[in-house]
């Protein structure tokens, strides 16, 4: 059985934009490249043709991947909860630190540390999942065990 994939409304919109671009613009560019490469003659030693075919395969694979994701993913809206779950925003504090770090809990498809979006499948995301304000958890990292306190759920 496939694991449930979670995406936000923003990610769903971005996927629709990407698939539209791939189907309209990218496919046309690849077809033009194939026609141009075919005009050069012998296809067996035609690097441009082989590159265009490879690009075509990658594009079609990505289209299929996006279509599957859009059909099967569960869309989660940002919301407030008393427990950590996908769609909540949390603030945590490392042991021996005065600073808090705020993360959005998202599905694996849109995790992005540069935007403080962590996956529910990441070590910290898994440890936080289902926890309440004030809970303390130990996270195993390459440098050892780090203790975090859940300061706030938004």
Q: Where are the domains of the chain?
A: 6-75, 78-153
H helix or E strand, kind and range, residue 4: none
Q: How do the pLDDT tens digits run along the chain, 154 residues long?
A: 457 788 888 889 999 999 999 999 999 999 999 998 888 877 778 888 999 999 999 999 999 999 999 998 989 887 778 899 988 999 999 998 899 999 999 988 889 999 999 998 899 999 999 999 999 999 988 888 999 999 999 8
Burial class (CB in 10 A: 0-12, 13-18, 19+), 88: buried
CATH code for the structural domain at 78-153: 3.10.50.30
Q: Which CATH class is domain 6-75?
A: mainly alpha
């Amino acid at each position: 059985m496939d694991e449930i994939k979670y995406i936000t409304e923003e990610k769903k919109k971005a996927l629709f934009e990407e698939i539209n671009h791939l189907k309209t613009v990218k496919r046309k560019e690849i077809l033009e490249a194939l026609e141009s490469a075919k005009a050069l003659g012998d296809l067996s030693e035609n690097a441009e043709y082989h590159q265009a075919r490879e690009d075509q395969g990658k594009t079609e694979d990505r289209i299929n991947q996006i279509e599957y994701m859009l059909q099967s993913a569960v869309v989660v809206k940002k919301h407030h909860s008393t427990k950590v779950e996908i769609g909540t925003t949390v603030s945590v504090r490392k042991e021996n630190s005065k600073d808090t770090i705020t993360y959005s809990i998202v599905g694996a498809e849109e995790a992005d540390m540069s935007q403080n979006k962590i996956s529910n499948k990441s070590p910290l995301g898994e440890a936080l999942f289902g926890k309440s304000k004030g809970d303390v958890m130990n996270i195993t990292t390459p440098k050892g065990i780090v203790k975090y306190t859940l300061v706030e759920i938004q």
